[in-house]
Structure 1
Amino acid sequence: MTETKADRPAGEAKPRRRQARGERRIQQLLDAAADVFSRTGYAAASTNAIAREAGVSPGTLYQFFPNKEAIAVELGQRLTHQMREAHGVLFTPEYASLPLPEMLDSVIDPMVEFNCQNPVFLTLIHSGDVPGLMTEEHDALHVALQARLEELIELIQPALPADRRTRTATMVFSLFKAGLELVLAHEGEERDAYVEELKASLHGYLAPIIGAGMPSRAP
Structure 2
Amino acid sequence: MRRTPVQQRSRERVERILDACAELLDEVGSDALTVTAVARRAGVPTGTVYQFFDGRIGLLRHLALRHLDILIDRLRARAAGEAELSWPRAGEIVIEETVQMRKVIPGFTVVDFGEARPGGEKYLPEGTTEAGGDILAERLYRFAVEEAGLPPLADPYRVTSLAIQTTAVGIDLAFRDSREGDAAMVEQTRRLLGAYFADAARRSRAEPPEPEDPALPDQDGGR
Bin of the TM-score, shorter chain as denominator length: 0.5 to 0.7
Secondary structure of 1:125 counterpart:
coil
- What are the equivalent positions in structure 2 for 1:60-79 lying under 5 Å apart? 60-62=48-50, 64-65=52-53, 67-79=55-67
User: What is the total number of aligned residue pairs between the two structures?
Assistant: 187
Structure with higher helix content: 1
How far apart, in 2, do the equivalents of 1:166 and 1:68 lie? 29
- What are the equivalent positions in structure 2 for 1:199-210 lying under 5 Å apart? 199-203=190-194
CA distance 1:77–1:205, change in 2 (3 Å): closer
| Paired residues of 2:67 and 2:112 also in contact (CA < 8 A) | no
Aligned match of 1:135: 125
How far apart, in 1, do the equivalents of 2:56 and 2:200 lie? 45
Secondary structure of 1:136 counterpart:
coil
1:196 paired with 2:191, answer: no
Aligned match of 1:106: 93
1:30 paired with 2:18, answer: yes
How far does the alpha carbon of each residue in 1:132-151 deviate from its partner, in whole angstroms, 9 at most, with x for none? 68332691231443577799
How far apart, in 1, do the equivalents of 2:98 and 2:158 lie? 21
CA distance 1:168–1:21, change in 2 (3 Å): closer
| Paired residues of 1:87 and 1:111 also in contact (CA < 8 A) | no
How far does the alpha carbon of each residue in 1:160-219 deviate from its partner, in whole angstroms, 9 at most, with x for none? xx47x887655533321211212333233x4334322322333455667779xxxxx89x
Q: Which runs of 5+ in 1 are unaligned?
A: 1-17, 212-216
CA distance 1:30–1:131, change in 2 (3 Å): farther
How far apart, in 1, do the equivalents of 2:196 and 2:123 lie? 34
Q: CA RMSD in A?
A: 4.6
CA distance 1:62–1:80, change in 2 (3 Å): same
| Paired residues of 1:28 and 1:54 also in contact (CA < 8 A) | yes
Q: What percentage of residue pairs aligned between the two structures are identical?
A: 25
| Paired residues of 1:108 and 1:199 also in contact (CA < 8 A) | yes
1:28 is displaced (CA, Å) by: 1.4
Match of 1:145 among 140, 156, 160: 140
Q: Which runs of 5+ in 2 are unaligned?
A: 1-5, 128-132, 207-223
How far apart, in 2, do the equivalents of 1:169 and 1:123 lie? 14
TM-score, structure 2 normalization: 0.56
| Paired residues of 1:35 and 1:120 also in contact (CA < 8 A) | no
Aligned match of 2:3: none
| Paired residues of 1:29 and 1:54 also in contact (CA < 8 A) | yes
How far apart, in 2, do the equivalents of 1:73 and 1:170 lie? 19
Aligned match of 1:119: 109
| Paired residues of 1:43 and 1:129 also in contact (CA < 8 A) | no
How far apart, in 1, do the equivalents of 2:31 and 2:60 lie? 11
Q: Which structure is larger by alpha-carbon Rg, 1 or 2? A: 1
